[in-house]
Chain A
């Protein structure tokens, strides 16, 4: 009989206790993995997913609101800027591209955004590719009432090339329906970006939509800006020009930093979540100590017999600590299953609501250090009962049973 066989047998002998402890480790480990990965990946997605743009130019207001609205298609637009403002920044020598966005309408709860064809050339998917329609579709004709639909929006609303949509005023489901109708001519390939949730129509479509005010024809909601690579100071200069010297526009630059500031503001919440996860981990680890301790009466006799047969104290100590680690290992298998299920749900919800896709099974450092830490903590927790087991009075225990 090897040490591992003896440990496995002991686990089987105390099956109920083993399963309860492993289940508690599974929940704790799963919670730790879920909290960690969700926090890390959402932060990475929100701070790194800029679609290939450096900045957003919009009406005077909150930079965060501007970025959330123009890049992530969340929140209300903080206001409009004039078409002239777009034309002006387009001419700026440091600007490589300036893509106009006009918003304010929706179809069955999905945003409709007016833009130029340049948007599809300039915007990058999460994998760094261009946004392209699937093989059976094409991009819209800027002069026609045509629409291109993001993959998630298409799936949700059942839109395919040839489908007709009736824009509604506002972003809710109960706005006033416009008279115009648009024909879907293409569905975009999934990009794992917020663009997947949007219905795209020509810029003029929004500007000239019936029922919009006359000023709308000369207004935009935001401009996505990509700076030239050889203009490292342009961002600062434009920041000074619009944010400090100007009074009517906001220059949100760089997009990643604006989003990072959001995460910094809610950093304490992450900390609390992590602390809770670690507390649950510690409680579950303590359950291993309690589980082994509770079965100590029964183990005492087995330990005495093993010692009588020649097992050294080191062997006994190792077998009990190994048993604690084995429970943790078993629990971590369950933890990964728990994590897989929960994160898949979170991924689905986030993709549907925000358009960002979490990577559930991409190898991450926590997949290594979390199980290693759990096993080490469990071994540590097992040391107390292991020490107790080593101190069993063999002669007395054997005599008391004989």
Chain B
């Protein structure tokens, strides 16, 4: 049984001009537990929407998303929140760290909503991503590469089944991009979490070869209006 399975997924939204735009039209997508998959997609291809639907942050117009055999699209908002807290981790291009919280607190926050707060485990994770001496630093005191490492540690804090990474290297230079992707892959492997990464950057996608071209997966062509609803 796959960890993630997407069936007949369609997502429409109404543009500011009143036009109905289809963002996603995915017949079938599946990935096994612990598997690492990369999707290649250009800006506006709908890949961010795809990840947000999997995360339960967007509701599709049709179809289903099965995570660990649970149909997320059939759940209430509160139930989806609980699934997201316990089974999913997310990494974004601009890290999305809480600026008023230290590195350690950001990671602890990743554990808070799955009710498994463990300060030592959070510190271990930060140590694992090379930030042992930065536990009490605030995000603004860190370099971009370091911030992304905090985001990676936070995404894995609740021991999720699946980590969704949306252009995780978009704000990093070439060297840090490489390091961040390597780290993300290693830590996901160690924590036995699946990794679904989307990027437009061939260098980022290279280690995942063969990767999936999102245009082949998504039959919708939403780029006219910039993709994300």
List the interface of chain A (C-beta within 8 A of B): 1, 9-10, 12-13, 301-302, 304-315, 394-396, 398-399, 401-402
Contact = CB atoms under 8 A, between A and B. Distances in A.
A325 to B, nearest CB: 20
Contacts of B92: 398, 401-402
A309 B86 CA distance: 9
Contacts of B108: 1
B38 interface: no
A144 to B, nearest CB: 79
Interface in B24-79: 48-49, 52, 55, 57-58, 77-78
Contacts of A1: 105, 108-109, 112, 117
Contacts of A304: 96
A45 B93 CA distance: 70
B57 A308 contact: yes
Interface residues of B, number: 38
A402 B92 CA distance: 6
A203 to B, nearest CB: 76
A312 B101 contact: no
Interface of B: 48-49, 52, 55, 57-58, 77-78, 81-82, 84-86, 90, 92-94, 96-101, 105, 108-110, 112-114, 117, 154, 158, 166-167, 170, 228-229
Nearest to B58: A395
A310 B57 contact: no
Given A1-B109, A399-B48, A311 B81 contact: yes
Contacts of B78: 312-314
Nearest to B93: A402
Contacts of A395: 48-49, 52, 57-58, 228-229
A312 B57 contact: no
B82 A302 contact: no
Contacts of A308: 55, 57, 84, 90, 96
B112 A309 contact: yes
Nearest to B77: A313
Contacts of B166: 402
B77 A309 contact: no
Contacts of A398: 52, 57, 92, 96
**A-B pairs with lowest CB-CB distance, top 3:** A310-B85, A310-B113, A402-B92
Contacts of A402: 48, 92-94, 96, 166-167, 170
Nearest to A301: B96
A12 B100 contact: yes
Nearest to B105: A1
A10 B100 contact: yes
Given A13-B99, A302-B98, A305-B97, 11 more contacts: A1-B105, A9-B105, A13-B100, A302-B100, A310-B81, A312-B82, A312-B113, A314-B78, A395-B58, A399-B48, A399-B228
A359 B81 CA distance: 54
B105 to A, nearest CB: 7
Contacts of A314: 78
Given A313-B78, A396-B228, A307 B85 contact: no
Contacts of A311: 81, 85, 112-113
A305 B57 contact: no
A315 B166 CA distance: 26
B15 to A, nearest CB: 14
A395 B167 CA distance: 14
20 contacts: A1-B105, A1-B117, A10-B100, A13-B100, A302-B100, A304-B96, A306-B98, A308-B96, A309-B84, A309-B109, A309-B154, A310-B112, A310-B158, A311-B85, A312-B81, A313-B77, A394-B57, A396-B228, A398-B52, A402-B166
A309 B100 contact: no
Contacts of B48: 395, 399, 402
A214 to B, nearest CB: 87
Contacts of B98: 302, 305-306
Nearest to B48: A399
A394 B84 CA distance: 13
Contact of A306 (B109, B117, B167): B109
Nearest to B155: A309
B95 to A, nearest CB: 8
Contacts of A313: 77-78, 81
A309 B105 CA distance: 13
A311 B114 CA distance: 9
Contacts of B101: 9
* Most B Cβ at <10 Å: residue of A1, A302, A311: A1
A401 B57 contact: no
A330 B84 CA distance: 35
Nearest to A313: B77
Contacts of A10: 100
A395 B77 CA distance: 14
B99 to A, nearest CB: 8
